[in-house]
């Protein structure tokens, strides 16, 4: 009984100490108040203390009324004091300190005081950890805030460290496929892209799409933007077949809810056309011919799979069912022309710049599929639309001031041929050429080269196969002479004994 009574006495004393500490901190944080007329100072203090004991959120209310950056700095001192004394508080801590600290951090960030904003965010994290542990969901907000600060400063590895922790907390508290992590995943994609880690960015994109599939109705209009985002990523990473499938799914959903030629179709149609555009510009025809850079399983078939039907199975696995080599061209043309029809049918919904962009895309497409006369008609329409604009000279110069490359591949180093297999650096090839009114390269000449002859041949072929949007003067396509191109190479290749072809002149 004596031991039990001692524990009870100690517990009562501890409760009294915590209550008194809370009261002292609240009094130090609250602004000084003058006693009312006819009331003594002691009475004023007593009434103030009683009000604070009755309402634990009084201090939070005072902090929430603070609007200036300097006034929020009082919270920083109070937080440092709490952490230094090792005081612990319950749920009211977030209201009393964490929320004002995050407001203070936001104000400092807007004022460009990044170091102070980061300190406030770190203080908020330490306070939350003191009260709720290292997996408290309240940690997500300051962690994401600090990650954004690191991203703005270009420190993406530090940003990823914060984002990974925030994601891990949500995985423990809300599950792996929680929708709450979508903002975190968006920030991760930004950092991965900035660090050049495309594969990791692709994994995050796929996870984002899978989460949206889990939490949204996949046949609703709300889901269409996520389909378009996933399709664009697939298109940019050469996954053209998957991109076309996604864009087709988005268009099928839109057709259920929107009338024919509704402006809501434009984004999906432009995206679908962009896939065909990339296929043409990258040399990947819709007939599934293997003309892409990444290695595939059919580039070097062995003796066991050389029969026609066996190769056909591999082709189907790699590129899908066999189609006409011209079906992709017809599909791209039809899609872009549909966009034009929608824009012309609803001119009030689109600006002049948007209309010009639609015709530019159509003209560039015609150039890629070798129909320069049709492209010329689209480009002339752009000139007509922009001629009356206030900044017409600037806009027209941006579109037609110089030939614009639509299709060009930098040649790769030769990996086979006569000569010796050597490592070398600082090799280059410089050429001059002209672009005619049809966007084709003419009058190609070598200016200087210290590369092997095989590399010069590859450079010649690459430049001759390039396609350009021609230069226009007064709405008429003209020839552009004396264009120069210099490519530098570094790596390992077969080097022939004769470095310069007869057509190269050294200056």
CA–CA gap between residue 167 and residue 331 (Å, rounded): 42
Give the pLDDT score at 283: 63
73: nearest Cα among 111, 39, 130: 111
Q: Left if phi > 0, otherwise alpha if psi is -120 to 50, otherwise beta: which for 24?
A: alpha
Which has more pLDDT, 81 or 187?
187
- Domain 407-495 top-level CATH class: alpha beta
**Crossing angle, helix 2-29 and helix 69-85, to 10 degrees?**
160
Taking 50 as the threshold, does the pLDDT of residue 355 lie above it? yes
Average pLDDT over residues 458-472: 93
Give the pLDDT score at 18: 39
pLDDT digits (tens, 9 = 90+) for 469-497: 999 999 999 999 999 999 988 766 655 54
Give the pLDDT score at 104: 81
Which has more pLDDT, 133 or 378?
378
H helices within 346-479, ranges in order?
A: 352-368, 372-386, 392-400, 453-464
DSSP-assigned letters across all residues of 183-224: HHHHHHHHHHHHTT-HHHHHHHHHHHHHHHHHHS-TTSGGGH
Give the pLDDT score at 100: 79
Average pLDDT over residues 129-148: 89
CA–CA gap between residue 451 and residue 495 (Å, rounded): 8
Answer whether 333's CB lies under 8 Å from 365's CB. Answer: yes
Give the pLDDT score at 282: 75
Quickly state the pLDDT bin for 268 (edges 50, 70, 90): very high
Taking 60 as the threshold, does the pLDDT of residue 48 lie above it? no
Q: How far is CA 202 from the centre of its chain?
A: 11
Taking 70 as the threshold, does the pLDDT of residue 231 lie above it? yes
Give the pLDDT score at 324: 42
Give the pLDDT score at 44: 39
Quickly state the pLDDT bin for 451 (edges 50, 70, 90): confident
Which fold is adopted by the domain 2-195?
A: 1.25.40
408: nearest Cα among 319, 485, 332: 485
Answer whether 226's CB lies under 8 Å from 216's CB. Answer: yes
CA–CA gap between residue 434 and residue 477 (Å, rounded): 13
Quickly state the pLDDT bin for 149 (edges 50, 70, 90): very high
Quickly state the pLDDT bin for 454 (edges 50, 70, 90): confident
Task: Please name every residue paired with 424 in a beta bridge, in sequence order, or none if there are none.
Answer: 491
Answer whether 360's CB lies under 8 Å from 277's CB. Answer: no
Give the pLDDT score at 84: 60
**Integer angstrom CA distances of residue 444 from 53, 131, 404, 482:** 87, 73, 17, 10
Average pLDDT over residues 85-94: 54
User: Which residue matches tokens 């440092």?
Assistant: 80
SS3 state of residue 432: strand
* % of the chain beyond a pLDDT of 70: 67
124: nearest Cα among 75, 190, 180: 75
- Sorted by where each begins, the domain ranges of the chain are 2-195, 297-322, 407-495
Average pLDDT over residues 253-261: 91
Predicted TM-score of the model (pTM): 0.64
Least confident of 329-333, 348-352, 362-366, 441-445: 329-333
Average pLDDT over residues 168-181: 88
CA–CA gap between residue 293 and residue 377 (Å, rounded): 34
Answer whether 315's CB lies under 8 Å from 322's CB. Answer: yes
Least confident of 73-87, 268-282, 387-401, 420-434: 73-87
Taking 50 as the threshold, does the pLDDT of residue 215 lie above it? yes
Answer whether 425's CB lies under 8 Å from 450's CB. Answer: no
Task: Please name every residue paired with 441 in a beta bridge, in sequence order, or none if there are none.
Answer: 435
Give the pLDDT score at 489: 81
Average pLDDT over residues 93-122: 81
Query: Which strand (E) or helix (H) includes residue 444?
Result: strand 441-449
Give the pLDDT score at 11: 39
Give the pLDDT score at 119: 87
Q: Any residues with CB less than 8 A from the CB of 354 and at least 6 apart, and which?
A: 343
**Integer angstrom CA distances of residue 45 from 25, 33, 51, 60, 231:** 15, 9, 10, 19, 66
Choose the most confident range, by mean pLDDT, from 75-79, 133-137, 271-275, 492-496: 271-275
Give the pLDDT score at 366: 94
Instruction: Tell me what percent of the chain is helix, strand and coil, each rounded to the nearest 5.
Output: 65, 10, 25
């Amino acid at each position: 009984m004596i031991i039990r009574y001692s524990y009870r006495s100690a517990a009562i004393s501890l409760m009294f100490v915590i209550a008194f500490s809370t009261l002292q901190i609240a009094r130090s944080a609250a602004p000084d108040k003058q006693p009312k007329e006819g009331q003594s100072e002691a009475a004023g203090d007593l009434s103030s203390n009683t009000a604070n004991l009755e309402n634990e959120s009084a201090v939070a209310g005072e902090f929430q009324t603070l609007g200036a950056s300097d006034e929020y700095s009082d919270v920083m001192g109070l937080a440092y004091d709490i952490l230094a004394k090792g005081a612990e508080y319950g749920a009211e801590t977030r209201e009393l300190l964490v929320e004002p600290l995050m407001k203070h951090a936001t104000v400092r960030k807007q004022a460009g005081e990044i170091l102070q904003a980061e300190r406030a965010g770190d203080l908020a994290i330490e306070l939350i950890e003191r009260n709720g542990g290292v997996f408290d969901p309240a940690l997500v907000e300051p962690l994401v805030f600090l990650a954004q600060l690191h991203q703005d400063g270009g420190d993406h590895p530090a940003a990823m460290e914060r984002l990974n922790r925030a994601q891990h907390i949500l995985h423990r508290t809300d599950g792996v496929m929680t929708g709450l992590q979508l903002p975190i995943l968006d920030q991760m994609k930004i950092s991965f892209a900035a660090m050049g880690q495309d594969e990791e960015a692709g994994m995050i994109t796929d996870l984002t799409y899978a989460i949206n599939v889990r939490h949204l109705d996949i046949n609703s209009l709300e889901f269409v933007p996520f389909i378009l985002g996933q399709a664009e990523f697939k298109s940019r990473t050469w996954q053209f077949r998957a991109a076309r499938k996604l864009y087709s799914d988005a268009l099928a959903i839109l057709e259920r809810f929107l009338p024919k030629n509704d402006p809501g179709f434009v984004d999906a149609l432009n995206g679908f056309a962009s896939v065909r555009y990339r296929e043409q510009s990258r040399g990947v025809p819709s007939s599934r011919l293997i003309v892409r850079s990444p290695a595939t399983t059919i580039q070097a078939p062995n003796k066991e799979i050389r029969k026609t039907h066996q190769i056909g199975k591999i082709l189907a696995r790699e590129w899908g069912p066999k189609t006409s080599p011209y079906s992709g061209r017809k599909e791209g043309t039809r899609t872009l022309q549909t966009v034009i029809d929608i824009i012309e049918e609803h001119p009030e919904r689109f600006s002049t710049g948007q209309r010009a962009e639609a015709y530019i895309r159509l003209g560039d497409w015609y150039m890629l599929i070798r129909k320069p006369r049709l492209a010329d008609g689209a480009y002339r329409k752009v000139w007509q639309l922009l001629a009356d604009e206030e900044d017409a000279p600037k806009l027209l110069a941006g579109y037609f001031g110089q030939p614009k490359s639509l299709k060009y591949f930098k040649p790769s180093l030769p990996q086979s041929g006569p000569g010796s297999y050597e490592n070398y650096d600082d090799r280059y090839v410089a050429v001059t050429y002209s672009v005619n009114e049809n966007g084709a390269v003419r009058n190609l000449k070598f200016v200087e080269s210290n590369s092997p002859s095989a590399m010069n041949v590859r450079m010649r072929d690459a430049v001759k196969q390039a396609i350009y949007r021609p230069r226009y003067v007064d709405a008429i396509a003209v020839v552009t002479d004396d264009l120069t191109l210099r490519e530098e190479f570094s790596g390992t290749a077969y080097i022939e004994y004769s470095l310069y072809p007869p057509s190269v002149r050294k200056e």
